[in-house]
Structure formats: C-alpha cells, structure tokens
Amino acid sequence: MQHNKRHLALIGMMGTGKTTVGRAVSELLDMTWRDTDQELVAKWGCSVAEFFARYGEERFREEETAMLRACLEEQRLLLTTGGGIVLREQNRHLLSQWAYVVHLDADPHEIIERLQRSEEERPLLRGDLSARVHAIYQARRDFYRFADLRVDTTGRAVSDIAEEIARAWREHV
C-alpha cells in the first residue's frame, strides 16, 4: 500500500447499521474487527449509557478519542465507531489520515424505524426519538462528508451493502 490508510473504518449516525454491516464486512474480508464503543465498554466494565450518566458526554468524548488513537495504532483493522466520533475535528483528521473511511447513511425515517427495534440504550436519544434523530441528523450531516465513500443503506440488504464496501476496499488496497 502506497499510503497510510491501512484501516477500514465505518462511520455514520446511530442506527445506520455500522455494527451489523461491520460484522458482515469483517467476515467477507476476513479482517480483525474492533468497535470503539465495545472496546470502551470492555475497558470500563459498564455500558455507554451508564458512563454518560456517571461522567457526562465530555468525558466520554475524551475516552472515545483516546480509544480511537489506540485502535489506529494497531495493525490493519476494520474499525466501527460511535456515531458521534465525527464531532471532533481531531477525530476526523485521525480517521482520514489512517483509514479508508466509509460513511453509512440512511434516510432519517428508516433510522428511526431501526432504532425503535434496537435494544441498546442510547443516551442522546432520550425523549422524543423522532425529533432527536431529525435534529442530530441535520446537525451532523456535514461532519460525515470527509469520508472516502458514502453508502446509502436505505432499503438495502446488509449483504449487498457489505459487498459494496468490500469491493471498494479491495480497489483501495
């Protein structure tokens, strides 16, 4: 590889399927898969929601950046991230420097449907789910634009999305 982008990273709003698609991509490409949130949960011994409640979002963002750095120092990984990782300029810079970045996007209405089915507790979605998703979607859409590839997942099968990403990655490496 002639460049530094040795990792494959999936970014995107909560509910865009990063975890589901990540699992499928890691199998297709036989890549080691890490998820920044899952690594943090393992390190803390408590859920993201519990961490937010105890220490707040700012402290979570500090931990998230430190975990991102640690993951990017490893050998080639498929990396999935929390939806808000793009909020910090520093994280966007790190990701674009060290990873081929894929933005998973979806229509907000479909995001809402997926999140309604999800059992995971998401601290930033408390209250009116629909209003929260629309507000966060609008507020963050520009932050995802630095990605190398945007994939619209609306109405698509996981296997189809995973194959598109695997194809793009093979062309990249």
14 sits near ligand S3P (criterion: CB under 6 A) = yes
Alpha-carbon distance 80 to 8, whole Å? 9
Q: Which helix (H) or strand (E) holds 65?
A: helix 57-72
Is 151 in a helix, a strand, or coil?
strand
Alpha-carbon distance 37 to 60, whole Å? 10
The DSSP 8-state label assigned to residue 61 in this structure reads: H
* Interface pick for ligand S3P out of 8, 24, 25, 48 (rule CB under 6 A): 48
CB of 45 to ligand S3P, least distance (A): 17
Q: Which residue number, 76 or 123, has a Cβ lying nearer to ligand S3P? A: 123
Query: Cα dist. 119→115, 128, 140, 146 in Å?
Result: 8, 16, 23, 30
82 sits near ligand S3P (criterion: CB under 6 A) = yes
22 sits near ligand S3P (criterion: CB under 6 A) = no
Contact, 7 vs 95, CB < 8 A? no
Residues 104-143 that bind ligand S3P (CB under 6 A): 122-124
CB of 54 to ligand S3P, least distance (A): 14
CB of 170 to ligand S3P, least distance (A): 26
Q: Which residue number, 84 or 108, has a Cβ lying nearer to ligand S3P? A: 84
Residues that bind ligand S3P (CB under 6 A): 14, 18, 37, 48, 82-84, 122-124
